[in-house]
Amino acid sequence: GIQVEQSPPDLILQEGANSTLRCNFSDSVNNLQWFHQNPWGQLINLFYIPSGTKQNGRLSATTVATERYSLLYISSSQTTDSGVYFCAVKQTGANNLFFGTGTRLTVIP
């Protein structure tokens, strides 16, 4: 199956700092989603971004499908941004999303 690698695995930020999370994938995809899983286990949709760039408030994402990677940018981080960020992709013809192992973000005041 497709391989999905996320980096870094862990990240600690001071409140107000900016960060970039990376997702590399090993094959062509027709679906890529970024999720934030909060400390209560809830999985929140951030972006549906198989290609291109999107922005939503302090968050933005870019997927370069031809080079098989996606980036999630967090600006002016807040303590509520803490949690695990997952990248998930779906190959053409596949039935489901394959998840990366996530980036665990801790934002300290």
Partner 1 sequence: EADIYQTPRYLVIGTGKKITLECSQTMGHDKMYWYQQDPGMELHLIHYSYGVNSTEKGDLSSESTVSRIRTEHFPLTLESARPSHTSQYLCASSAQGWQPQHFGDGTRLSIL
How far is residue 63's CA from residue 8's CA, in Å, rounded to a whole number? 17
The residues in 11-30 that bind partner 1, with binding defined as CB under 8 A, are 30
The residues in 44-63 that bind partner 1, with binding defined as CB under 8 A, are 45, 48, 50
Question: Would you list the DSSP string of 44-73?
Answer: EEEEE-SSEEEEETTEEEEEEGGGTEEEEE
Stretch that binds partner 1, among 16-24, 65-73, 74-82, 92-100 (CB under 8 A): 92-100
Number of residues that bind partner 1 (CB under 8 A): 22
Considering only 19, 63, 70, 86, the residue that binds partner 1 (CB under 8 A) is 86
In 1-109, at which residue ranges do the beta strands (DSSP E only) sit? Answer: 4-7, 10-14, 19-25, 29-37, 43-48, 52-56, 59-64, 69-74, 83-91, 98-99, 103-108
Stretch that binds partner 1, among 13-21, 52-60, 65-73, 99-107 (CB under 8 A): 99-107
Residues near partner 1 (CB under 8 A) are 1, 30-31, 33, 35, 40-43, 45, 48, 50, 86, 88, 90, 95-97, 99-102
